[in-house]
Amino acid sequence: MRIITWNINSLRLRMPTLAKISEKLAPDLICLQEIKVEDSLFPEKDIKTLGYKHVLYRGMKSYNGVAIISKVPLTGEKKRLWCNKDDCRHIAASLPNGVEINNFYVPAGGDVPDPVENDKFAHKLTFLTEMAKWFSTQKPANRILVGDLNVAPLETDVWSHKQLLKIVSHTPIEVAGLKKAMRSHDWIDAVRKIIPPEEHLYSWWSYRNRTWPGTNRGRRLDHIWVTPGLIEKVYDAKVFIEARGWDKPSDHAPVLIDIKI
DNA sequence: ATGGTGGAAGGTCCA
C-alpha cells in the first residue's frame, strides 16, 4: 500500500494538482490537511472520479479541515474534539485489515514561542499534550499516524538547527511535546526508518522565501509514524519535493510511505 | 528587526 500525507492548503484550489499527484504516484490512500472547505461544499464527486471511492472528511469554512480519501474501504470513523474546539484537526478510520489510520493537523502555533504571550502557541502545546494523553489510553493495535504536525523534531529536519531554535516549529518545548506524544504509544517515525536521521529532509518551504529551491530553507513538518508491529513492513518512504516546484503549489510537499499491509 | 507570499474571504485572519 502506498500512503500519502499532504497539507494541500485549499482542496478546491488544488484539485488539478491532486489529480496530477494521484496520477504520478498512484497512492492507495491520501490524508489531506488544510482542505479549507466546509463539508457541504466538499468536492466528493470529483474526488471519487479520481478513483478514491471511500472518502471521509471533516471540514470548516476558511481554516483547517482534514480528509482521508482512499481506494480501499474505510470503516469505524473516529472523530473527537481536541482542546475542546470543534476545529477539524483530526479524523481516523480503519482499513479492511484492521490497521487504523489517524490524520492530524496540529496547530501551527503563531509566531511568538511563548505560551503566556501567545494563545496560539499555548494551544499547540496543549494539543500535543492531549495527543500524548489520548494515545496512552488507546489499546495497542496496528496504527498509522500521519499529518502536518507542525514540528520539525530533528536537527536535520530544518535548514539550520541553530538559527531555528527560537522559531516556532523547532523550539525545544515543542520538540519535547512531540516526542512525548510519540512515546505515549511507542510510535516509530517510518520516514526516518528509510531516510536516515543524519540526512537533511524537509517537507515544507515558506511561500515567503522566493529563492526556493536555491537556498533550500525548508523544514520537515509532515510526518508518518507507525506502531511497532508495522515498522518492518515499511519498505520505502520519500518526500515528493517535485510538487513544491509546480505551478500554484502548496507550501507543503506530499510525504509518502510504501508498506506491505 | 522587519517583511516577505499565499488562501479564503470580501474584514482581516491564519499559515
pLDDT tens for chain A, residues 1 to 261: 999 999 999 999 999 999 999 999 999 999 999 999 999 999 999 999 999 999 999 999 999 999 999 999 999 999 899 999 999 999 999 999 999 999 999 999 999 999 999 999 999 999 999 999 999 999 999 999 999 999 999 999 999 999 999 999 999 999 999 999 999 999 999 999 999 999 999 999 999 987 778 889 999 999 999 999 999 999 999 999 999 999 999 999 999 999 999
Backbone region of residue A157 per phi and psi (left: phi > 0; alpha: psi in -120 to 50; beta: other values): alpha
Nearest nt (C1') from A206 Cα: B5
pTM, to two decimals: 0.97
- Quick count: other Cβ atoms within 10 Å of Cβ A195? 18
CA to C1' distance (Å), from A207 to B5: 5
DSSP state string for chain A: -EEEEEE-S-TTTTHHHHHHHHHHH--SEEEEE-----GGG--HHHHHHTT--EEEEE--SSS--EEEEESS--EEEE---BTTB----EEEEE-TTS-EEEEEE-----S---TTT-HHHHHHHHHHHHHHHHHHHSPP--EEEEEE-----SGGGBS-HHHHTTSTTS-HHHHHHHHHHHHTTT-EEHHHHHS-TTS---SEE-TT-TTTTTS--EE--EEEEE-HHHHTTEEEEEE-GGGGGSSS--SB--EEEEE--
Cell, residue A145: 499516524
CA to C1' distance (Å), from A82 to B1: 35
Nearest nt (C1') from A148 Cα: B15
CA to C1' distance (Å), from A204 to B5: 14
- Give chain A's length: 261
CA to C1' distance (Å), from A208 to B3: 9
CA to C1' distance (Å), from A196 to B6: 32
CA to C1' distance (Å), from A61 to B10: 14
- Which nucleotides along chain B are within 7 A of a protein C-beta? 3-9, 11, 13-15
**Residue with CA nearest to B14's C1' atom:** A63
In order of their start, the domains of chain A are: 2-259 (3.60.10.10)
pLDDT tens for each residue of A185-240: 999 999 999 999 999 999 999 999 877 788 899 999 999 999 999 999 999 999 99
Task: Please report residues contacting nucleic strand B, using a CB cutoff of 7 A.
Answer: A 9-10, 12-13, 36-38, 61-63, 107-110, 120, 150, 206-208, 210, 248
> Cβ(A224)–Cβ(A201) under 8 Å?
no
**Long-range contacts, A93-99 (Cβ 8 Å, 24+):** A93/A56, A93/A68, A95/A29, A95/A70, A95/A261, A96/A72, A97/A142, A97/A261, A98/A141, A98/A142, A99/A142, A99/A143, A99/A144, A99/A230, A99/A261
